[in-house]
Amino acid sequence: MAYELYYWDGLQGRGEFIRLALEEAAADYIDVARQSDGMAAMMRFLKSRTEPHIPFAPPFLKDGDLIVSHVANILLYLGPKLGLAPQDESLRFVANGLQLTITDFVAEVHDTHHPLSTNAYYEDQKEAAKHRSADFIEHRIPKFLGYFERVLKQNPAGSGHAVGGSLTYVDLSLFQVFEGLRYAFPRATRKLAKDYPAVAAVHDMVQKRPNISRYLESDRRLDFNESGIFRHYPELDQDA
Amino acid sequence: MAYELYYWDGLQGRGEFIRLALEEAAADYIDVARQSDGMAAMMRFLKSRTEPHIPFAPPFLKDGDLIVSHVANILLYLGPKLGLAPQDESLRFVANGLQLTITDFVAEVHDTHHPLSTNAYYEDQKEAAKHRSADFIEHRIPKFLGYFERVLKQNPAGSGHAVGGSLTYVDLSLFQVFEGLRYAFPRATRKLAKDYPAVAAVHDMVQKRPNISRYLESDRRLDFNESGIFRHYPELDQDA
pLDDT (tens digit per residue) in B168-222: 999 999 999 999 999 999 999 999 999 999 999 999 999 999 999 999 999 999 9
Among the CATH numbers 3.40.50.970, 3.50.50.60, 1.20.1050.10, 3.40.50.2300, which is that of A89-236? Answer: 1.20.1050.10
| H/E stretch holding A92 | helix A89-113
| H/E stretch holding B30 | strand B29-31
Flag whether pLDDT at B1 surpasses 90. Answer: no
Please answer whether residues A174 and A162 qualify as being in contact, where contact means their C-beta atoms are separated by less than 8 angstroms.
yes
Compute CA distances B18 → A206, B2, B97, whole Å: 35, 14, 17
- The 10s digit of each residue's pLDDT in A89-118 is 999 999 999 999 999 999 999 999 999 998
3-class state of residue B144 by DSSP: helix
Query: CA gyration radius for chain B?
Result: 18
What's CA B99's distance to the chain center, in Å?
9
Q: Looking at beta carbons, which residues of chain A come within 8 Å of B131? A: 116-117, 125, 128
Candidates B6, B47, B73, B144: best to mutate against A (most CBs of A within 10 A) is: B73
- Strand order of the β-sheet with A66-69 is A29-31, A3-6, A60-63, A66-69
Compute CA distances A24 → A12, A172, A200, A212, whole Å: 16, 9, 19, 6
Among the CATH numbers 3.40.30.10, 3.30.43.10, 3.30.360.10, 3.30.70.270, which is that of A3-82? Answer: 3.40.30.10
The top-level CATH class assigned to B89-209 is mainly alpha
Same fold across A3-82 and A89-236: no
- pLDDT band at residue A183 using 50, 70 and 90 as cut-offs: very high
Please answer whether residues B140 and B108 qualify as being in contact, where contact means their C-beta atoms are separated by less than 8 angstroms.
yes
Flag whether pLDDT at A240 surpasses 80. Answer: no
Average pLDDT over residues A17-26: 98
Q: Looking at beta carbons, which residues of chain B come within 8 Å of A120? A: 135
Of A101, A154, A155, the CB nearest to B56: A101
Going from N- to C-terminal start, the domains of chain B cover 89-209
Measure B229 CA to nearest chain A CA, in Å: 15
Alpha helices in chain B (DSSP H): 15-24, 38-47, 71-82, 89-113, 126-135, 141-154, 169-184, 192-195, 197-207, 210-217
- The 10s digit of each residue's pLDDT in B150-165 is 999 999 998 899 999 9
Q: Which residue, among B104, B82, B84, has the nearest Cα to B148 in the 3D structure?
A: B104
Size of interface A-B (CB pairs under 8 A): 131
CB-based contact A117 B128, cutoff 8 Å: no
Burial of B70 (0-12, 13-18, 19+ CB in 10 A): buried
Of A66, A104, A128, the CB nearest to B93: A66
CB-based contact A97 B55, cutoff 8 Å: yes
Contacts of B171 (CB under 8 A, 6+ apart): B161, B162, B202, B205, B206
Please answer whether residues A100 and B73 qualify as being in contact, where contact means their C-beta atoms are separated by less than 8 angstroms.
yes
- pLDDT band at residue A158 using 50, 70 and 90 as cut-offs: confident
Average pLDDT over residues B24-29: 98
Flag whether pLDDT at A239 surpasses 90. Answer: no
Measure A62 CA to nearest chain B CA, in Å: 12
Of A93, A125, A155, the CB nearest to B52: A155
Please give the pLDDT value at position B161. Answer: 98
Please answer whether residues A193 and A174 qualify as being in contact, where contact means their C-beta atoms are separated by less than 8 angstroms.
no
Q: Is the ipTM of this complex over 0.95?
A: yes
3-class state of residue B163 by DSSP: coil
- pLDDT band at residue B240 using 50, 70 and 90 as cut-offs: confident
Average pLDDT over residues B77-83: 98
Candidates B17, B51, B53, B99: best to mutate against A (most CBs of A within 10 A) is: B53
- pLDDT band at residue B125 using 50, 70 and 90 as cut-offs: very high
DSSP letter (8 states) at residue A137: I
Q: Looking at beta carbons, which residues of chain B come within 8 Å of A100? A: 69-70, 72-73, 103
CB-based contact B147 A56, cutoff 8 Å: yes
- pLDDT band at residue B142 using 50, 70 and 90 as cut-offs: very high
CB-based contact B96 A119, cutoff 8 Å: no
Please give the pLDDT value at position A110. Answer: 96
Mean pLDDT, all residues of chain B:
97
% of chain B beyond a pLDDT of 70: 100
Contacts of B95 (CB under 8 A, 6+ apart): B76, B79, B85, B86, B162, B163, B164, B168, B169, B170
Of B54, B77, B90, the CB nearest to A151: B54
CB-based contact B97 A70, cutoff 8 Å: yes
Please answer whether residues B168 and B162 qualify as being in contact, where contact means their C-beta atoms are separated by less than 8 angstroms.
yes
Please give the pLDDT value at position A159. Answer: 82
CB-based contact A93 B50, cutoff 8 Å: no
Burial of B30 (0-12, 13-18, 19+ CB in 10 A): middle
Cα(A54)–Cα(A51) distance, integer angstroms: 6
Measure B216 CA to nearest chain A CA, in Å: 29
Flag whether pLDDT at B139 surpasses 80. Answer: yes
Please answer whether residues A3 and A64 qualify as being in contact, where contact means their C-beta atoms are separated by less than 8 angstroms.
no
CB-based contact A156 B52, cutoff 8 Å: yes
Please answer whether residues B239 and B187 qualify as being in contact, where contact means their C-beta atoms are separated by less than 8 angstroms.
yes
Average pLDDT over residues A195-202: 98
**Which amino acid, A19?**
R
Please give the pLDDT value at position A6. Answer: 98
| H/E stretch holding A91 | helix A89-113
Contacts of B202 (CB under 8 A, 6+ apart): B152, B160, B161, B162, B171, B174, B175, B178
Flag whether pLDDT at A216 surpasses 90. Answer: yes
Please answer whether residues B145 and B201 qualify as being in contact, where contact means their C-beta atoms are separated by less than 8 angstroms.
no
Please answer whether residues B57 and B13 qualify as being in contact, where contact means their C-beta atoms are separated by less than 8 angstroms.
no
